[in-house]
Structure 1
Amino acid sequence: MTIKIIQGHNHTLGASRINVIIDVIRAFTVAHYAFIKGVQGIILAGTLDDAFRLKRQFPEFILAGEIQGLPIAGFDLDNSPVRLQNADLRGKFLIQKTTNGVKATLNSLNADHIFVTGFTNARTTAEFIKHKLLREDTAISIHLIASHPSGDDDLACAQYISGILQNSNRISADETIERIRKSEAAKKFYDPAKPDFLQEDIGLCTRELSSEFVMKVNYKDELPLIEKVQVQELNHE
């Protein structure tokens, strides 16, 4: 097994068996909670024009996302996992446009298996890869993409996932949470002068959840779609 950690969203990667794209604050934390609330799938839009074009094509879909962390005029939802809790998402699809996570994913499609995650679903994602995919190919190549160009939040989560995959104690869940909370990306959420950024969001971003699914990108028909894949009784031998 070869694991490589890449930081940032502007990259060109060679082919690999597995790419895991990480956005803790907040894109793929939002995605995780959206699936918990009943979303059927999440389409990734690289630009605002793409997002609004998809909305015109699928008017029943929900626009969600941010630019530089801030809400987008004309979107139904921003990028807050806290505000997401008030939305009825059962059976619906999202169109997601974000600064780091979505862009990093669209630059990471050259893999047999593509997963996205925040910290909330990091352990489930790592365990799924370890017990379902590494068992089939022990020489597998894995890219862990920490999508924030400089933030320690995504990097800490990537190192946490790497440790789980390698059965090491390189970084614990508590250490990961502490680094996320103290990261540069988190600072604005503690600033009362920036009401668009909720401190409660960081609480949800650092809550490790017991999930029964991973989030996998399906890239059929040139339309990247995050889908929920159920985890069936992981074998912990």
Structure 2
Amino acid sequence: MSITIVQGSNHKLEPAYINIVIDVIRAFTVAHYAFLRGAKEIQLVNTVEAAKKAKEADSELMLAGEVKGLPIQGFDLDNSPHGLQQRNVENKILIQKTTNGVKAALNSLAAEHILVTGYSNAKTTAEYAKRLLSETGENASVHLIASHPSGDDDLACALYIKGILEGSFSPSQTETEERILHSSAAEKFHDKLQPAFCREDIQLCAAELKSDFVMKISPASGDRPKIWRVNV
């Protein structure tokens, strides 16, 4: 097993057995909570224009995302896991566009298995990936993509997943959560002068949940790869 941690969303990766794309604050925490609340699937797009064009073709779609962390005019949902819990997404198809996580995922499709996660579903995702690795007799390669180009939150989660895959279980859950809570990406959520960023989001992003599914990407026909809920 060869594990490589890649940081940022603008990357070109060699084909791998498993790619795990991480966005803790907040894209794939939002995705996790959307599936917990019954979302059917999440389709990924690179631009606001592509999201709005999809909605024009199908008004039942729900647009979710952000630009520079802020809500997008005309979108149904922003990038807040706390705000998502106030909305009905049961059986809905979401179109997601975000600055780092979605972009990183769209640049990580060259793998046999493509997973996305925040910290909230990191342990379940790591354990699922570990089972996949145990089933292949090859010297499999794994990329852990910490999508924020400089944020400690995604890097902390990548190291946490790496520890589970390798069996060292280091760093610990507590250490990882502390790094997320005190990361530079979390600072604006604690700043009362920036009310657009919800303080409750950070508590959700840094809380691990027991889960019975992972979030897996399958490249779709057309231009919108899809995240599916896959039970484990």
- 2:108 alignment partner AA: S
Structure 1 SS opposite 2:83: helix
In structure 1, runs of 5+ residues without a counterpart are 232-237
Residues 157-179 of structure 1 show CA distances to partners (whole Å, capped at 9, x for unaligned) of 00000000000032001100000
d(CA) in 2 for partners of 1:135 and 1:155? 27
Residues 127-149 of structure 1 show CA distances to partners (whole Å, capped at 9, x for unaligned) of 01112343323511000000000
Contact 1:21 1:116 in 2 (8 A): yes
Contact 1:134 1:140 in 2 (8 A): no
Shift of the alpha carbon at 1:16? Answer: 0.7
d(CA) in 2 for partners of 1:220 and 1:151? 30
Shift of the alpha carbon at 1:49? Answer: 1.1
Residue 205 of structure 1: aligned partner: 205
The answer to whether residue 100 in structure 2 is matched with residue 84 in structure 1 is no
d(CA) in 2 for partners of 1:37 and 1:86? 10
d(CA) in 2 for partners of 1:136 and 1:146? 25
Q: How do residues 159-198 of structure 1 correspond to structure 2 at under 5 angstroms?
A: 159-198=159-198
How does the TM-score come out when normalised to structure 2?
0.98
Q: How do residues 1-237 of structure 1 correspond to structure 2 at under 5 angstroms?
A: 1-222=1-222, 223-231=224-232
Shift of the alpha carbon at 1:57? Answer: 1.8
Contact 1:26 1:81 in 2 (8 A): yes
- 1:197 alignment partner AA: F
- 2:4 alignment partner AA: K
Greater Cα offset, 151-160 or 161-170: 161-170
Structure 2 SS opposite 1:220: coil
Structure 1 SS opposite 2:17: strand
- 1:122 alignment partner AA: A
d(CA) in 1 for partners of 2:160 and 2:135? 20
d(CA) in 2 for partners of 1:192 and 1:134? 47
d(CA) in 1 for partners of 2:78 and 2:40? 18
The aligned length equals 231
d(CA) in 1 for partners of 2:137 and 2:87? 41
Structure 2 SS opposite 1:31: helix
Contact 1:25 1:185 in 2 (8 A): yes
Structure 2 SS opposite 1:134: helix
Contact 1:39 1:93 in 2 (8 A): yes
d(CA) in 1 for partners of 2:132 and 2:180? 28
Contact 1:27 1:65 in 2 (8 A): yes
In structure 2, runs of 5+ residues without a counterpart are none
d(CA) in 2 for partners of 1:113 and 1:177? 26
Greater Cα offset, 32-41 or 56-65: 56-65
Residues 99-154 of structure 1 show CA distances to partners (whole Å, capped at 9, x for unaligned) of 00000000111111100000000000000111234332351100000000000000
- 1:224 alignment partner AA: P
Contact 1:4 1:143 in 2 (8 A): yes
